[in-house]
Chains A and B, each alone.
Chain A
Amino acid sequence: MMMKKKKQVPEWLNSSLWYSSSDHHRFDPPEPPSPLPPPVSVSEDPPTIPTNHDASPSSSISSAPSAADDTSRHGHAHTQLLVELSRKVIDMRELRRVASQGLSDAAAQALRPTLWKLLLGCLPPDRALWSSELAKKRSQYKHFKDDLLINPSEIIRRMHNSTSHDIDDAKFQSRTLLARSQITHGDHPLSLRKTSIWNQFFRDTEIIEQIDRDVKRTHPDMHFFSGDSQFAKSNQEAFKNILIIFAKLNPGIRYVQGMNEVLAPLFYVFRNDPDEENAAFAEADTFFCFVELLSGFQDNFCKQLDNSLVGIRSTITRLSQLLKEHDEELWRHLEITTKVNPQFYAFRWITLLLTREFDFSDILHIWDTLLSDPEGPKETLLRVCCAMLILVRRRLLAGDFTSNLKLLQSYPSTNISHLLHVANKLHVQSV
């Protein structure tokens, strides 16, 4: 069968909207990650997009900016965001609307930490409650650390010395370490029997080792996360603490590879808060925001739900349906003609919330939009994924299985404002 060269493109896809000045990006090879992206969102060239504003502001709460007047809007949005964040009681609907328009470089570092905490529900809308709420959470986190964490060298020491177990806290016993009283002579550490008390202990150790391996592999190209500096080491320590505590408090999910990547943007943003006190408590604040964020996405991480209506497979199927709905030709070419199972690329896109697909500063930009959507980040995420496919549709339609899968597994760098605009357009289309 010959590949069709001439294809019928749905009318709306022919809109010059899709092929703006950012068009050239789509044919660039993916750029290697920059050694140390700046801690602020990138400023794109304002794409010259025709004034095809069929998305009336009233048709959607989260109507995205037309990328045309990106820059001027950014200044305006900054002021608006400041205004919204200064209110005595934050109007969340208004905040989401303003935030969804994107943060300017200037606004990003100063405002993003507070913005994300509000959007994730870790700060209540009433400002008067902020300090007490933060104090409560930070103290709770300290308790988690005291109760659940034993430093790795202590664990190693204990592994070699079974008589030194003295963790008796019954409350956490079942999910953490073992009570000394339960260890009998028959329960030799080398026993691999499922009933072995040591088995549970080793499972914990296994998870901790896995976390340790992955934390070291988190953004190895960024000094913030990686390297031998004191700063990087203390950040890695915070990462490990958060992931271990999460794993122990959530025995049904524990730790799944990739959670480190989802954690990274949160911790990076909070750790770089210009407010020194907030930055000092970044670990605690990140933990609670991470829990909030994952509560919306945890089903994707849960193996038992893989084949259920809420698991990762069905989420991927929904992406496939979304593509079919908006661009059936592309859907057909990808899934029927070239047989690219969406699981081959979308599994990582979705479970990691796109954190592997773009430069770090771009990820923060995308997350502003994900987190500010009033419907919650799940639907927005699928629309952004669908927009990613549509933005490279010409290449995909000309590609075979191999080239298509390679393209989608290492997605080319692209104008993020434009990507988000297209994603929002899909929203408007289906409304």
Chain B
Amino acid sequence: MHNISQRKRTLLKVIVLGDSGVGKTSLINQYVDKKFSQQYKATIGADFVTKEIQVDDKLVTLQIWDTAGQERFHSLGAAFYRGADCCVLVYDINIQKTFDTLNNWHDEFLKQADTNDPEAFPFVLIGNKVDVDGGNSRRVTEKKARNWCASRGNIPYYETSAKEGYNVEEAFFCVAKIAQENEHVQDIFFGGISESVSEAEQQQQPSRCAC
């Protein structure tokens, strides 16, 4: 029989949003599985992964929701957004439009997530695909992105390459960190067959959030 135990853990719910094709699934898979593939299918609805990490001597479970990028799926967001501790916005630094839509994603999230204090809700912005064309096809400057972040209440900003694994760990560590400040402890029941626990990786993390 399964050995069933009950423990209290810190569960951090993270929602990843952004236009179709900016690399949300790739970023998450690079972060969780250390893998990159050119072959991801489009995300439909929302996919769900977990990862355990250590933040300040505390074991936290990140529950990461990978969402569909197409606008059609916005109205279905509320069910996924509820109870989120952090929202990660992703755009492609090589495509201006994916940056322009950040305001929509930001506002739509706050509207649907129904958070207690929208002003203080933690976001992280990721500008992905810095590897493309050696940076020569960049359309959004880092300065412009940082200005946007400043105008939205000092959102931490990371530029990443999901393909090369560049800065991905750092970005998500920051996510965990600021999500934890917004922490909320939930009861999680671990049944004997819950694989999620054994999948936990406790690797060396960057010591602090460079936000």
Distance (whole angstroms) from the CB of A346 to the closest CB of chain B: 9
Count: A-B pairs, CB below 8 Å: 105
Q: How long is the Cα–Cα vector from A221 to B40 in the complex, in angstroms?
A: 10
**What are the interface flags for B64-83 relative to A under an 8 Å C-beta threshold, 1 for contact and 0 otherwise?**
00001110111110011000
Contact of A213 among B21, B38, B193 (CB under 8 A): B21
B185 in contact (CB, < 8 A): no
Looking across the interface, which residue of chain B has its beta carbon closest to that of A307?
A: B75
Interface membership of A256, Cβ < 8 A: yes
Among the 9-residue stretches A64-72, A113-121, A152-160, A397-405, the one with 4 or more Cβ atoms under 8 Å from chain B is A397-405
Interface residue B42 (Cβ < 8 Å from any Cβ of A):
yes
A211 CB to closest chain B CB (Å) equals 11
Other-chain residue from A1, A5, A347, A403 in contact with B195 (beta carbon distance below 8 A): A403
**B29 contacts A by Cβ under 8 Å:** no
Which chain A residues (304-338) contact chain B, with CB distance < 8 Å?
306-307, 312-313, 338
CA distance A392 to B79 in the complex (A): 24
Within 8 A of A (CB), among B18-47: 20-21, 38-42, 44-47
Is the pair B79, A210 in contact by a Cβ cutoff of 8 Å?
Answer: no
Partner of B70 from the list A210, A220, A401, A402 (CB cut-off 8 Å) is: A210
Once the chains bind, are A400 and B189 in contact (CB under 8 Å)? yes
Cβ contact within 8 Å between B47 and A2: no
Docked CA distance A313–B75 (Å): 11
Chain B interface, number of residues (Cβ within 8 angstroms): 38
Q: Which of A217, A306, A395 contacts B42 (CB 8 A)?
A: A217
Please tell me which one of the listed residues B4, B38, B39, B47 contacts residue A3 in the complex, with CB atoms under 8 A apart: B4
Flag if A258 contacts B188 (CB, 8 Å): no
- B2, closest chain A residue (CB): A398
Q: Is A136 an interface residue (CB 8 A)?
A: no
Say yes or no: A301 contacts B44, CB within 8 Å: no
A351 and B20 within 8 A (CB)? no
A2 to B44, CA, bound (A): 34
Q: Is B190 an interface residue (CB 8 A)?
A: yes
User: A166-214: which have CB < 8 Å to B?
Assistant: 210, 213-214
Instruction: For residue B11, give the distance in angstroms from its CB to the closest CB of chain A.
Output: 9
Inter-subunit contact A403/B193 (CB<8 Å): yes
> In the complex, A352→B21 CA distance in Å?
19
Chain B, Cβ-Cβ closest to A218: B41
The residue among B21, B38, B44, B69 with the most chain A CB atoms within 10 A of its own CB is B44
CB pair A256–B70 under 8 Å, yes or no, is yes
Q: How far is the CA of A389 from the CA of B39 in the complex (A)?
A: 28
Smallest CB separation, B102 vs chain A (Å): 15
Give chain A residues whose Cβ lies under 8 Å from the Cβ of B45: 343-344, 347-348, 351
The residue in chain A whose Cβ has the minimal distance to the Cβ of B48 is: A405
Contacts of B104 in A (CB 8 A): none
Do the beta carbons of A398 and B191 come within 8 Å of each other? yes
Give the residue of B6, B47, B80, B191 whose beta carbon is less than 8 angstroms from that of A399. Answer: B191
Known A344-B79, A347-B46; further 17 A-B contacts with Cβ < 8 A: A210-B70, A214-B42, A219-B41, A221-B39, A226-B39, A257-B20, A258-B42, A258-B44, A343-B45, A356-B41, A398-B191, A398-B192, A400-B188, A402-B63, A403-B193, A406-B50, A406-B196
- Interface pairs (6), CB distance under 8 Å: A213-B20, A226-B39, A347-B45, A356-B44, A395-B193, A402-B196
